[in-house]
Structure 1
Amino acid sequence: MLLVLFGWLSIFIFVAGVFYRIVKFASMPLNLRWEVYPVPHESKEKRIIGASYMEEVDWAKKPIHKSLWGEIVEIGYEIFFLRKVREYNPYNIWAPSMAMHWGIYLLFTWIFFLLAENVYDIKFLNKIINITGVVSFILGASGCLILIVKRAANADLKLYTAPVDYFNLLFLLSIFVTGFISWWIDPSFIHSKKYIKDIISLNPSSVPFAVILNFLLFELFLIYMPFTKLLHYVAKYFTFHHGLWDDRFKEKDSTIDRKIIEQLSYKVTWAGPHVVGGKSWLEEAQEYKLDETKSDKGKK
């Protein structure tokens, strides 16, 4: 019964954790504007040449037309095809990264199909469940294993790999490997379906240890993920939409204007050659000047 209750607890913590992080991201201060073009919510004509609505005559007096669909497509390319990883791929990690990410996507899809098959008794899902599960485990395990080896073996890549990165990859690898073992002993996933049914009905029964271990690791992963960098799939929206693609202009007494005024009143908590600690950012911008002549002499 404890395993059944833990299954429900993991789902609750996952949903609550993701919601908490989304609220946290959304309430953070405004980002510095990147001013990088093209911006995907612009029209197709402007995206092709990297133009902005601000280049039009009297642009501030005209209605602004933005394409949310353009942003969705761009983020979709990044999430499902890791386009930036492929474009900037000096360590040849795009293929194993794709394998690992698609292993995760298919793992959640497999769980969803298991739930749907149990709740709605959809028989034709059986074959899809069998294929989705084994493909997820093979792709995910191979991707994690190759990434671990590459990060450990490549001297340059090793510099950018923290211990937590190895832990995350090993954690995911353990889920995929135990999933593959559970498929090996039960190719039709009968016991996996039974485990899901037990969770839904709150009525535990006996299933093989490999199946229990696989789902237990997955449930631990659900609890762990919202509070780590593994939630970057949510952070990506805020990074792109509110950082990279934010080309709004500031009008007096607008929401952005009020936020900027508020943030300019924040106290600076650090100091440097160009910053005096303890003052507000507005005071820093208005009062302090860096003696560039003295600074240049110091460098010489």
Structure 2
Amino acid sequence: MNFWQSFIGGVLPYIAVATLVLGLGYKVTCWLKAPVNLHWELFPYPQTLGGQLSELLSEVFTLRSLFHHNRRLWFPSLVMHWGIYAVVFWLFFLLVGAPVAIYLGTAGGVLALTGSCLLFLFRLFVPGLRQISTPVEYLNLLFIFLLALAALASGALSDLAFRSYFISLFAFKPHLPLPGSYLVFLLLLWLFMIYIPFTRMAHFAVKYFTYHKVKWGEVE
């Protein structure tokens, strides 16, 4: 077992999780303390918890606002987000040992790869989108593309045996050594988790504030 196997497989995961949790926790704390600049009393808001959850989930899984306001980006964005959601479900089903994890992982990798590639190309070649795109947005999409490519190329997303490695991390006894092809995927995965709190990709953690505290703040 060499240094890189030990570091990427047994040390970096804990650094990544700690950075992700603490980074998002810090952002959420700042958002909680920040004053609301404006209440959006623009349309009837759902009054019940069920209605609010339905509204929020509809936005998360269909990107409805993007569909209405920037339809060019909607489809590739939806494909990429569905890919990311599928990979999250892949990890859950992998940990419980459900065979469906194989299909979810592969589908998620393909969707994330396709969506990020299309978004990158759209932003690069469509004049109107290129004008409003910043370098960091290209970097974010490239990161997601390379991560999905490494995941698919390594075969990790379709390998149920990968389950033992993740379980060993939860037990604080990392199962090493790992196949060399997995190390590239894992390195990108841990670096991506470290990177998220410092970027706009942390927007998933702000959905509560966007809806409940801003759009529906007056219900309180």
Which of 62, 71, 84 lines up with 1:81 in the alignment?
Answer: 62
Would you say the 8 A contact 2:113–2:149 is kept in 1? yes
Is 1:107 paired with 2:79?
Answer: no
How far is 1:173 from its partner? Answer: 0.6
Identity of aligned residues (%): 31
Which of 191, 194, 197 lines up with 1:220 in the alignment?
Answer: 191
Equivalent in the alignment of 1:11: 17
Counterpart-to-counterpart distance in 1, 2:91 and 2:122:
29
Counterpart-to-counterpart distance in 1, 2:181 and 2:15:
21
- Per the normalisation by structure 1, the TM-score is 0.66
Unmatched runs of 5 consecutive residues or more in structure 2: 1-5
Q: Which of structure 1's runs of 4+ aligned residues deviate more than 3 A?
A: none
Equivalent in the alignment of 1:237: 208
Equivalent in the alignment of 1:94: 74
Q: Please say which structure displays the higher CA radius of gyration.
A: 1
Which structure shows the bigger proportion of residues in helix conformation? 2
1:114–1:234: structure 2 CA closer, same or farther, 3 Å change rule?
same
- Per the normalisation by structure 2, the TM-score is 0.88
Letter in 2 for 1:18: L
Of 218-227 and 152-161, the range deviating more from structure 2:
218-227
Unmatched runs of 5 consecutive residues or more in structure 1: 42-66, 118-124, 250-300
Equivalent in the alignment of 2:218: 247
Equivalent in the alignment of 2:148: 176
Would you say the 8 A contact 2:102–2:158 is kept in 1? yes
Equivalent in the alignment of 2:3: none
Counterpart-to-counterpart distance in 2, 1:148 and 1:203:
36
Q: Which has the higher contact order (CA 8 A, sep 6+)?
A: 2
Is 1:27 paired with 2:33?
Answer: yes
How far is 1:88 from its partner? Answer: 2.3
Which of 2, 6, 24 lines up with 2:7 in the alignment?
Answer: 2
- What value does the CA root-mean-square deviation take over the aligned residues? 2.0
Counterpart-to-counterpart distance in 2, 1:243 and 1:197:
39
Aligned length: 213
1:227–1:116: structure 2 CA closer, same or farther, 3 Å change rule?
farther
1:27-49 CA-partner distances (Å, limit 9, x unpaired): 101222222111122xxxxxxxx
